[in-house]
Amino acid sequence: MIAPVRSLKGCDFIDLADLDRAQLREVLDLAHAIKAGQWSERPLDGRHVAMLFQKPSHRTRVSFEVGIARLGGSTTTLTENDVQLGVRETIPDAARVLDCYVDGIIARLRSHEDLLQLSGASDKPVINGLTDRSHPCQVLADLMTLEEVRGDLKQQHLAYIGDGNNVANSLIEAAAITGIALTLISPAGYEPAADVLERARRIDSGTPRITVTNDIKAIDGATAIYTDVWVSMGQEAEREARRRAFVEYQVNKDVMNAAPGAVFMHCLPAHRGEEVTDEVIDGPRSVVFQQAGNRLHAQMALLAELFAR
Ligand code: CP
Ligand code: NVA
């Protein structure tokens, strides 16, 4: 029977790189076991988690609410108009107050720096539910999905086509930890940030196989093609410029035909007709709803680790 990793008890989960390779392996093993019905403990019995959302959410909110309930815990979900972090009170004050009531905090904040401030001020586990910088919970589910549909992560070649955004940043960390070969294909000016790549290259996984290019044809041998929206939440003012910049980077039938062995991945929500066509996202190689479903199992495993008794 799989038991949670004691080394993660009480920790924050701000980025995927907070886990080393062995810890990530154990989270994924537990996620698979939970999905298979082989693990059904209730480590959150009697525990309450606050969820703070400064941006909209469907998958993250519902999968955490359901997952926490299945683990025996309960939640309070607060949206933009409730706590008003940094507006009605400072972030550290809000964190210290929440600590009086709850056993953990899940936060989807606009600014990654604000999340770091929140986690620095809270003594309880803080989980990143997406920031402008990263989306590690999404990528936990993505790794789980890749293992289900493709097997050994070290044998995978993931081609990410699109914006060098929060999801791309977490995929970069995932590749560095697991040894996935990752090709990031973005229009000029929208590549992932240099410091994210630099940090990933310092993570010890042998030799990270991470390539950055503007060439959408660089998908030879891909076992998975991944894309995300061209305009992330909070970037709406850049919509027209971004649509022009990304127009050649749509994942359509031609792109999928050039990578015949690849599944199609997307974190959702998708802007159909922009970064992906209907026939690809609804096609036989799309695993997007499996990814969405795995948010539940991957996050339950993460919670079981952070809230281990
Ligand atoms: N993929 C994801 O995080 O979806 P939501 O924004 O709906 O939570
Ligand atoms: N990059 C997207 C991901 C949404 C899950 C955004 O930040 O809006």
Domain with residue 214: its CATH number is 3.40.50.1370
Let me know whether 268 and 231 are in one domain: yes
Let me know whether 70 and 151 are in one domain: no
Residue 173: name the closest of 223, 137, 121, 125 by CA: 137
Let me know whether 124 and 212 are in one domain: no
Decide if 235 is catalytic: no
Let me know whether 143 and 59 are in one domain: no
User: For 69, phi and psi rounded to 5 degrees?
Assistant: -60, -45
Residue 120 belongs to some domain of the structure = yes
Q: Is 227 a pocket residue for ligand 1 (Cβ < 6 Å)?
A: no
Residue in 52, 58, 233 to alter for ligand 1 test, most ligand atoms within 8 A of Cβ: 58
Residue 211 belongs to some domain of the structure = yes
Let me know whether 211 and 301 are in one domain: no
Decide if 21 is catalytic: no
Supply the residue whose CA is at minimum distance from atom 6 of ligand 2.
232
Q: How far is the CA of 66 from the centre of ligand 2 (A)?
A: 21
pLDDT by 10s per residue, the chain, length 309: 677 777 899 999 999 999 999 999 999 999 999 999 999 999 999 999 999 999 999 999 999 999 999 999 999 999 988 988 989 999 999 999 999 999 999 999 999 999 999 999 999 999 999 999 999 999 999 999 999 999 999 999 999 999 999 999 999 999 999 999 999 999 999 999 999 999 998 886 567 699 999 999 999 999 999 999 999 999 999 999 999 999 999 999 999 999 999 999 999 999 999 999 999 999 999 999 999 999 999 999 999 999 999
Contacts of 43 (CB under 8 A, 6+ apart): 4, 71, 72, 303, 304, 307, 308, 309
Let me know whether 75 and 177 are in one domain: no
Let me know whether 89 and 60 are in one domain: yes
Let me know whether 61 and 143 are in one domain: no
Q: What is the pTM of this model?
A: 0.97
Supply the residue whose CA is at minimum distance from atom 7 of ligand 2.
232
Question: How many structural domains compose the chain?
Answer: 2
Q: Catalytic one among 54, 117, 138, 156?
A: 138
Residue 21: name the closest of 123, 143, 110, 156 by CA: 143
Residue 11 belongs to some domain of the structure = no
Residue 128 belongs to some domain of the structure = yes
Domain around 88? 16-134+295-306
User: For 185, phi and psi rounded to 5 degrees?
Assistant: -115, 110
Decide if 138 is catalytic: yes
Angle between helix 288-306 and 59-70 (nearest 10): 50
Residue 209 belongs to some domain of the structure = yes
